[in-house]
Amino acid sequence: MPPMETMVDLATPVSQSLAQVIDVFDAEIRSELLFVNRLTDQVRRYRGKLLRPNLLLLAGESSGRITHDHIVLAAVVEMVHMATLVHDDVLDEADVRRRNPTINRLIGNEGAVLLGDFLISHAYHLCSSLGSTWASRRVAAVTNIVCEGELLQIENRGNFNLTEAEYLDIIRRKTAALTGLCCELGAAVSKASVDAVEHLSAYGSDLGMAFQIVDDLLDLTGTESETGKSVGRDADRGKMTLPLIRFMERAAPSERKRLIDVLSSADPRKNGQIREMLADSDCTAQALEAARGFIASAIEHLTVLNDSNAKSKLIAAAEFVLHRRA
Amino acid sequence: MPPMETMVDLATPVSQSLAQVIDVFDAEIRSELLFVNRLTDQVRRYRGKLLRPNLLLLAGESSGRITHDHIVLAAVVEMVHMATLVHDDVLDEADVRRRNPTINRLIGNEGAVLLGDFLISHAYHLCSSLGSTWASRRVAAVTNIVCEGELLQIENRGNFNLTEAEYLDIIRRKTAALTGLCCELGAAVSKASVDAVEHLSAYGSDLGMAFQIVDDLLDLTGTESETGKSVGRDADRGKMTLPLIRFMERAAPSERKRLIDVLSSADPRKNGQIREMLADSDCTAQALEAARGFIASAIEHLTVLNDSNAKSKLIAAAEFVLHRRA
């Protein structure tokens, strides 16, 4: 089953709310300037599976009723995510995103920086339309962490001795913090108990960890036609991901040296060479196994919830992360 | 008198509050990551005249008493401003800022994009520590406008037919919106009347218009040693500013063509050639006159205030804008 359909299916209990999220999102970023609207039209094409709004709404639905605040916050987290995508593409010098040219490719890095700023500004504008500062404060606390994660990541470019603990710390900040927040916000707005909010937040965080490990795997082993975005960027940018870290830990000195040589080279066939080196090892399988561990932990956290359609969909969302190819 | 001293003098009625603003600013951006602190240490070196916190505090002082909310908001507007500086330097590919290497020069464009994001995220985090969402909503509404102004500006790069009205619209968004907000926030938090808040906001906006016109003039006519930052960037990036717009309006067709040729060229001596062309005209004097008009209007708006030390300093701040060389 193609991934998009899987997620539409996931969204069933909240599909009506999801349509409202899209309306709120679009209304918020509409500008009186035509030029700006042309740019944000492009951003809307990157809208994928709406994973983060789905998580927020399902967490909300599993603990109570979906309210207007859920809708607004689901649009906010998607806007934050879109902003990070646009800025990530500047950082990665990527050309393709969700089968469309990236913003930096279309209008240059400068436009992409500003468009990301525009999205993040609107995310806070929308978030502060709510009655209290609580959600704004939580969202900003998490974007602080996301920025630190991204900064740590570029600080560690070309650090071929990155440990697994350091890698996990980076992805916890740059990815899992936001998916954890989605579930926290959804549950908290539904007035779930403190314990339930904590478990749902941990579910979202574990899911985010698995999501990023798989994302990094797809960059290494996927193709552009399969994933709909530029691949092999991590190796190009000297970014160590889990299969490579596991390989470095276990390989003989001569093999480690060979991998570092390949990673340090500017050879355009670099990604293919890395795949070949890893082919004889079980390092990509190990990375997938690590993702599977996070998903098992995520699902375990859901035992705090009573059975419901939304809970089943949260379980399915977690399992989907392991099987996605895009 | 050097500009820094002028501003220290300006700050006298609020100098104690200003010290608190710096403490709040520094505490907010302190990270548990050493690497991040090294970067933000660098950002602190760009701290200049603290114009925006000064405006906010003086507007507050002129209408009532300075409270903790004023201090927090003054740190917020400075953080927003710093973020725009860091991202502007990415956009402008500038090398020097306040006599220090720019962040993009030090750690690359990617680090600069992320550090700007980090600052803006912390600005909203700090802003949402206040009791109500009102200030967050206003700050975000203004940063929406600032982003649009910056986007409009890059959209109009190389548009040598930019009109004066279009130029003024761009600088109103990218610069005057934030200085206007500073005065609005200061006055509103001091519970000034609606009328007084509007006049102070208009004062700040007019001051910002003049500030940007002078800033653009300094880029054209100043030197790096004088201004402490890279100059000649506007011409390099095909950005039309007021003296050039006035020149284009009045010049004979052959002179217009010559200016466009120079502006379109990649000649490193370009800025010198433009200065020479303008030397025989009074276009730079006209631009300064336009700035003077905005300052007169700004000061006129202050008639809403009773006489006070803070009011005198607001007048002095407006006059300072016309005489700054850095």
Q: Where are the domains of chain A?
A: 3-323
- Do A91 and B116 contact (CB within 8 A), yes or no? no
Whether complex ipTM tops 0.95: no
Residue A275 has a pLDDT of: 86
Neighboring chain B residues of A118 at a CB cutoff of 8 Å: 144, 147-148, 151
Tell me the three state secondary structure of residue A240. Answer: coil
Nearest to A50 by CA among A88, A87, A24: A24
pLDDT tens digits, A180-231 = 999 999 999 999 999 999 999 999 999 999 999 999 999 888 777 777 776 7
**No. of helices (H) and no. of strands (E), chain A:** 17, 2
| Mean pLDDT computed over A26-41 | 91
Q: Which of A22-36, A42-56, A83-97, A258-272 has the lowest mean pLDDT?
A: A83-97
**Token pair 């600088």 in the structure block, residue:** B171
Averaged over A67-74, what is the pLDDT?
Answer: 98
pLDDT at A94 over 80: no
The reported pLDDT for the residue numbered A102 is 65
Alpha-carbon Rg of chain A, whole angstroms? Answer: 20
For chain B of 326 residues, list the mean pLDDT of each consecutive stretch of 10: 47 85 96 90 81 96 96 98 88 61 69 93 98 96 97 92 97 98 98 97 98 93 73 80 93 92 85 85 93 98 95 95 80
Q: How far apart are the CA of B133 and the nearest CA of chain A, in angstroms?
A: 5
**Nearest-by-Cβ selection for A118 from B115, B117, B147:** B147
Pick from B86, B144, B146 the residue to mutate for testing the A interface (most A CBs within 10 Å). Answer: B144
Q: In this complex, which of A117, A151, A154 lies closest to B118 when CB atoms are compared?
A: A151
Contact A35 B90 (CB under 8 A): no
pLDDT of residue A5: 39
Q: Does A122 touch chain B (CB under 8 A)?
A: yes
Q: Which residue has the higher pLDDT, A55 or A11?
A: A55
Nearest Cα neighbor of A150 from A237, A223, A224 is A237
The pLDDT score that the predictor gives to residue B106 is 62
Touching check for B51 and chain A: CB below 8 Å?
Answer: no
Mean pLDDT of A101-121: 82
Indicate the CATH number for domain B3-323. 1.10.600.10
Write down the pLDDT at residue A280.
82
Q: In B, residues 126-165, which contact A (CB 8 Å cutoff)? A: 127-133, 136-137, 139-141, 143-144, 146-148, 150-152, 154-155
Q: Of B91, B107, B114, which is closest to A150 when you measure between CB atoms? A: B114
Query: DSSP secondary structure string, A189-221?
Result: HTT--HHHHHHHHHHHHHHHHHHHHHHHHHHHH
Section A83-97 average pLDDT:
75
Alpha-carbon span B64 to B59, nearest angstrom: 9
